[in-house]
Amino acid sequence: MDCSLVRTLVHRYCAGEENWVDSRTIYVGHREPPPGTEAYIPQRYPDNRIVSAKYTFWNFIPKNLFEQFRRIANFYFLIIFLVQLIIDTPTSPVTSGLPLFFVITVTAIKQGYEDWLRHKADNAMNQCPVHFIQHGKLVRKQSRKLRVGDIVMVKENEIFPCDLIFLSSSRGDGTCHVTTASLDGESSHKTHYAVQDTKGFHTEEEIDGLHATVECEQPQPDLYKFVGRINVYNDLNDPVVRPLGSENLLLRGATLKNTEKIFGVAIYTGMETKMALNYQSKSQKRSAVEKSMNVFLIVYLCILISKALINTVLKYVWQSEPFRDEPWYNQKTEAERQRNLFLRAFTDFLAFMVLFNYIIPVSMYVTVEMQKFLGSYFITWDEDMFDEDTGEGPLVNTSDLNEELGQVEYVFTDKTGTLTENNMEFKECCIEGHVYVPHVVCNGQVLPDSSGIDMIDSSPGVSSREREELFFRALCLCHTVQVKDDDDVDGPRMSPGSGKSCVYISSSPDEVALVEGVQRLGFTYLRLKDSYMEILNRDSGIERFELLEILSFDSVRRRMSVIVKSATGEIYLFCKGADSSIFPRVIEGKVDQIRSRVERNAVEGLRTLCVAYKRLIPEEYEGICKLLQATKVALQDREKKLAEAYEQIEKDLILLGATAVEDRLQEKAADTIEALQKAGIKVWVLTGDKMETAAATCYACKLFRRSTQLLELTTKKIEEQSLHDVLFELSKTVLRCSGSLARDNFSGLSADMQDYGLIIDGAALSLIMKPREDGSSSNYRELFLDICRNCSAVLCCRMAPLQKAQIVKLIKLSKEHPITLAIGDGANDVSMILEAHVGIGVIGKEGRQAARNSDYAIPKFKHLKKMLLVHGHFYYIRISELVQYFFYKNVCFIFPQFLYQFFCGFSQQTLYDTAYLTLYNISFTSLPILLYSLMEQHVSIDTLKRDPSLYRDIAKNALLRWRVFIYWTFLGLFDALVFFFGAYFMFENTTVTNNGQIMTTSTHMIFGNWTFGMLVFTVMVFTVTLKLALDTHYWTWINHFVIWGSLLFYIVFSLLWGGIIWPFLNYQRMYYVFIQMLSSGPAWLAVVLLVTVGLLPDVLKKVLCRQLWPTATERVQSPCPTAARRGPHPQEVAFTFWNSEEYATLPPTLGPAQGPLGSSLSRGCPGSGPEMPV
């Protein structure tokens, strides 16, 4: 059989039609079209079940285990555990298996519980009742049983069960209102429109008799994009083809509002709905700390392998003499003698790997995850970051990047809605050179609704009066504003003199400001009803215009248009947009006068729009209709074809005038930017606004200062001279001033250096990013980056959304690899938010697309200051200490074990008991560092906010650099040497008692290898815990409870473990060991002395560094360890950064030595009996 035929059948009947066609055809109500139209091809689509859960009952264990063991650390410990099971190793498999089992089990329980909650939510959603039409009647069934093609009825306040094409509604005009808060967070009512040819079907029988097919694109996750068409069959005539767009699509998860009921046909169901496709998570971002942690793990893995190799080699060197290889008490069997040397050496190497594997801290991963998860709540609980005006607080969408907030070097911010309030106020309009300002004083009188102030020409003439009214009508008609429904607004809306005004709703605050502004100038927009727009003119007369077409706004065209027909039959095209997109299309009007006014308003920081129009003759309009109809029904490249059609239509315009709207600066935006610059963070503003408006805003928010010399890299300058010349000229300018001195990489704020500010527009950026004719673009990019590095601030204007992301990526991938942060509030900021290392969304008035796609969301821009300078600072300090401390305490833990091999003939004898090997990282030392990493405050919150320069102390991963890492490692080595050799020299001289036990001559203490290990372990636990106590500066009762409680738990556990004969153990080697050790006074003295010696170098280093080379943080800390309490907060004491020279002097490592520990021990399974005398 032909393989291609088999493949086709499999795709068609198993995978579904959507896998092998670009579009899908849906038969409305599962009715076949009339004969002779097209063949009926049944298609297979998924049912309407939503599955957000990852696991099922059957695959949970294997799938969860597979995902967990994909982590390198878990897989490594699994290998170690398997090695312990397979070969004869010095430690029990429990020592590796139990911590691994604990980590795997805790993670599995957490993930299983979360998945159970998802299953519960899925079942509730899939079993909710839905009404659909079957044989002309209303039938009720569960949501999961819906199929593509079913006609569904949804009532008011119900949630749409799947993605529907809107067929008809109870409203006469065929509209409905929906809210999409669960999809994109927007709570405003959005208007959707039924298909023109089906909006008259209001009953079940009528809608069941509909013969139609829907052709549309395959499912894709963009909530705001949909391309399709519907073919409606009336009798045997050719079908009526209507275009379908996002305005006809009702999305699953949205709620029907202010509409009694609607009918719709299901086109996407189940996991193919746009809501389900948006479940997919964003690409995983990794913090700099996590990358450092992985590098350190590799270093410690190399140390582990080196230790195992050294011990393996030395073991065979040690056993080269026969009496050492086969002592009288441990003769080899014949099978052991015949084993291959290399196989024996490899087995010994694996055994040493198992013995020393605890240097890799498996519990560190669990602790880091817990710290990040629990620590993220400090942001959401922060009352200072709660905005009472909006009732919104900060959101944490991912906790994986908490510490990255303390490492930011570049902030890329949007302007409108981020730096500004996005609360527009209409200031003025300019018509034919005459400026109109609402409600101003003229000749000592307050003008009523309309105020014409002639600032350029004399009083307007008759023709100018006509243009003036045409301008006002254009503002009343060229928009997508909705009038809020109210039962008793018809009367007041008709009579503006009553003092009541309309309530306007729009997704764009600019449009509402313009409509409200023109209302104050005498023209009031009333409503859109049955495709007719009604306005109230100055003479209180109602004018009706038929809305023929809307040419929607987009960020590329930067304009929108409407085509309307007046009551007298005249057809107008009204167009409004940015000056850069209107002026090139104008052939008539007072362009120079209006342009000068626009530029003046832009310099003052006002947002400007230009308005133009043209009259259309009927024949011209018919051509436009045919062009738009052909492009709107296209399934392929519809957006591109529409853009080309709009380009043809919007030309040869007559300029009417321009508007100016003010967008006020957000509260404390200037203070926030100033603080960020003092913290060494470079701030870039990326906006779509024109240069003059954006520059005025930058001056207002103190991004640019009066002393800042502005450098322009704009299209206008490139037109005058080539891009190459402009770049080299700017480069010489900024480098000449800096000379041979290295400019501060973080901030250009310097008293003895000239500050530069760079302004670049989108067109110039495109030229820089465009590959050169010789195939290279790196030269221009590097030159551009050099200029930017020497500028204190950069303004990028006229930026498309994709260009914003390109800028962020360019800086992110530069040779310094700085940590970037992007912040914005609109859908056009999503691309740069996703591109940056850290993305922050502002919960603003342009919807919540930015907040949904960000890592963190904040109500206002001012909250960024505390998020970075306080929370980010603390997060980084805490987790860097956590990482370094984990490596330090594991070096202290395992290096004595390494030293012990030199005194036991490399026999792989363990120094510690199995229980202590297992519980060291799980119980004895885990809680204090976890609590430290959640609550530590080395300086007060007020100090961090008052002195932003402290942020520089931790910049560029300062606390996880190699120098600091080596210091912690050498400190661990030094402490391990103190623990081991302190105990060793204390018990150096021993004697044998009458009953054969070994007793120290100086301390008269019963002594053996487990006592020695117990003493080393006790000193180690006390030292590493007290080391953390010395580093703690923010003491609370919880700190005291956990730190001293951990030490108490260790003592109680040791007393119980060694004071009871446990029946489940096949050995009792620790019986009475701890109690015997505590019964000796010199042992107490040894513990105190060795702990003091172990802590002394770190204390001396901190004191010396604080006195000789203090950091900025240490200078602002209180020198007194008992600082005054601030309200309910405990005292805060001094803190020292570990970034000075590493401890350089270490005792030499001893080789195999003579003495009481110098004899070889049994190579058999250790610990098979009571404590062995040495």
**Residue 467 is inside which H or E element, if any?**
helix 462-477
Q: How far is residue 29's CA from residue 212's CA, in Å, rounded to a whole number?
A: 9
Q: Are 1139 and 961 in contact (CB under 8 A)?
A: yes
CA nearest 547: which of 178, 173, 165, 227? 173
CA nearest 1002: which of 1080, 1092, 1093? 1080
Report phi then psi at 572, rounded to 5.
-120, 145
> Would residue 2 show up in a list of annotated catalytic residues for this protein?
no
The three-state secondary structure class of 384 is: helix
The sign one gets for the Cα dihedral 61, 66, 72, 77 is positive
The one catalytic residue among 163, 208, 414, 1098: 414
Cross-strand pairs, 1056: none
CA nearest 140: which of 128, 125, 122, 123? 128
CA nearest 263: which of 144, 164, 129? 164
**Residue 176 is inside which H or E element, if any?**
strand 175-180
Q: How far is residue 958's CA from residue 570's CA, in Å, rounded to a whole number?
A: 71
Q: Are 838 and 849 in contact (CB under 8 A)?
A: no
Cross-strand pairs, 141: 130
For 936, residues 6+ apart whose C-beta sits below 8 A from its C-beta are 874, 877, 878, 881, 1032, 1033, 1034
Query: Which of 373-377's residues contact partners 24+ apart within 8 Å by CB, and which partners?
Result: 373/399, 374/934, 375/399, 375/402, 375/875, 375/878, 375/933, 375/934, 376/402
Q: How far is residue 605's CA from residue 704's CA, in Å, rounded to a whole number?
A: 14
Strands 682-686 and 793-797: parallel
Tell me, what DSSP letter sits at residue 56? Answer: -
The sign one gets for the Cα dihedral 675, 680, 681, 682 is positive
Question: 1047, exposed or middle or buried, with CB in 10 Å at 0-12, 13-18, 19+?
Answer: middle
CA nearest 877: which of 933, 819, 945, 821? 933
Helices (H), 564-617: 579-582, 591-603
Longest Cα–Cα distance in the chain: 129
The three-state secondary structure class of 156 is: coil
For residue 405, give both structure tokens. Answer: 């907030």
Nearest-Å Rg of the Cα atoms of the chain is 38
Of the CA atoms within 13 Å of residue 498, those in its CB half-sphere come to 10
What is each CA distance from 1041 to 245, 363, 1046, 1047, in whole angstroms? 63, 22, 8, 10
Q: Are 1021 and 924 in contact (CB under 8 A)?
A: yes
Q: Are 692 and 602 in contact (CB under 8 A)?
A: yes
For residue 715, give both structure tokens. Answer: 């299209």
Q: Got the DSSP string for 699-730? A: HHTTSS-TTPEEEEE-HHHHHHS-HHHHHHHH
CA nearest 912: which of 985, 826, 1021, 768? 1021
Catalytic residues: 414
